[in-house]
Structure 1
């Protein structure tokens, strides 16, 4: 009987397969929530609100990239799928090329 992956394992696999999409979604959510939070503060100038939103988005992007790197490291060290680069390298190296 095949074992169903847990929700955390499914999420980890999705992040490994879609790193850039995950970072982009996190950045978009961060900038949106930061702009919404800063716009609720009427005493700040618009330019300051945008600068704060950009800084928050940059911090979230760095955190997402570090998280993505950790997921990649975990997947290479402990993942059951094996190294993807070697699989593709073997596929191309096994074909003989004729002149």
Structure 2
């Protein structure tokens, strides 16, 4: 049972990773619908425009919370111990490393470097 849950969790996680904007839009739309439904059930005499305003505010707060959670998850999963040092070691900011090579793979001189 646990392996099935792990597979489903990883497939959902990979889908969300590929469809970030659709996920955020779905969360927002679901929050709007849930807030309007809850408001309609709780206070049926409230005006529709006021329900929509409150639903938009609730959806906005939930969306910000989801974005904050996504940022924390991104930070947690992508910035483990020592990974910053590894990334800095992979990057070479030396001026000469950014220039094209003086010769091509066959040993012919590059036109940019010929005077």
TM-score, reference length from structure 2: 0.55
What are the ranges of 5 or more consecutive residues in structure 1 without an aligned counterpart?
87-95
Q: CA deviation at 1:30?
A: 0.6
Q: 1:19-98 counterparts in 2 under 5 A?
A: 19-40=20-41, 41-77=43-79
CA distance in 2, matches of 1:77, 1:6: 24
Larger radius of gyration: 2
Contact preservation (8 Å) 1:15, 1:68: no
Higher relative contact order (CA 8 A, sep 6+): 1
Paired residues in the alignment total 80
Q: CA RMSD in A?
A: 2.9
Note the residue ranges of structure 2 that are not aligned, 5 or more in a row: 81-86, 91-103, 105-110
How many angstroms apart in 2 are the aligned matches of 1:75 and 1:14? 16
Q: CA deviation at 1:58?
A: 0.6
